[in-house]
Amino acid sequence: GLMWLQHGGNLRHTSEQNDGVSRYGWLMHDGENFGVQEIRDEGLLLRTEFVKQPGGDHGGDWSWRVTAKMEGKGPAPLLSLFFYVATDGQGTLRPVLENGTRLAAVAGTAEELGDFTLTFLPPTGEGGEGPKYA
């Protein structure tokens, strides 16, 4: 899952009509293989995109991208994105660290999937540069 927090704001986990999020919803989605979602929250534009590559014994491989942009002018406030992973039922999860500091992957086992790996690529800016903080 995904949670986000702007400096001085509330920790967000969901988008609800009465929680101050100005707009949210799917822009494109076929219900199975791809989707693009936007969330507008107090000057922040969060976009999540997923693509499923069919195949394998358990439905295929998934790719997911999260983009965060500030709307308007002025300095961008500090933004924190929190990704979390859980298994339903019996299973194991193990963090895989790069250089002992950056979470590069989560390796796991689940009854429904068998062995799996969730890989986190390093964050990048629009021009391909790294973020100010990571």
* Of the listed ranges 41-50, 58-67, 73-82, 104-113, the one predicted with least confidence: 73-82
User: pTM (2 decimals)?
Assistant: 0.78
In angstroms, the CA 40 to CA 46 distance is 6
User: In angstroms, rounded to a whole number, what is the distance separating the alpha carbons of residues 47 and 128?
Assistant: 17
Is residue 28 within 8 A of residue 19, CB to CB? The reply is no
Q: What is the mean pLDDT of residues 89-96?
A: 93
